[in-house]
Amino acid sequence: MVEPMNELVDEVLKSIQTRLGNLEIEVTEVRAELVQLHRELDAARANRPEFSTPARGIERRIERLERRLTSMDTIDVALK
């Protein structure tokens, strides 16, 4: 009886580990995008012409990414 339970627990733990690995990759990508958006926003505020994205649009994207990061951090903490 104990052996099947151990196997089931192992499978669940492996699944969680895989999902956490995927989540870490996604968080890294989102953070990199957030850094780029901050650069674009700073450049737009400095009136550099090579960036054509309106500042408010960038701010909305940053806010959305920050919300995603917060929710991902919450999920990460909950899974630990």
CA gap 24, 75 in Å, rounded: 11
Residue 39 has pLDDT above 70, yes or no: yes
In the prediction, which pLDDT does 15 show?
Answer: 92
pTM above 0.85, yes or no: no
| d(C-alpha 19, C-alpha 39), whole Å | 30
pLDDT at 51: 55
Return the pLDDT at 11: 92
**Is the per-residue pLDDT at 50 higher than 70?**
no
Q: What are phi and psi of 46, to 5 degrees?
A: -85, 5
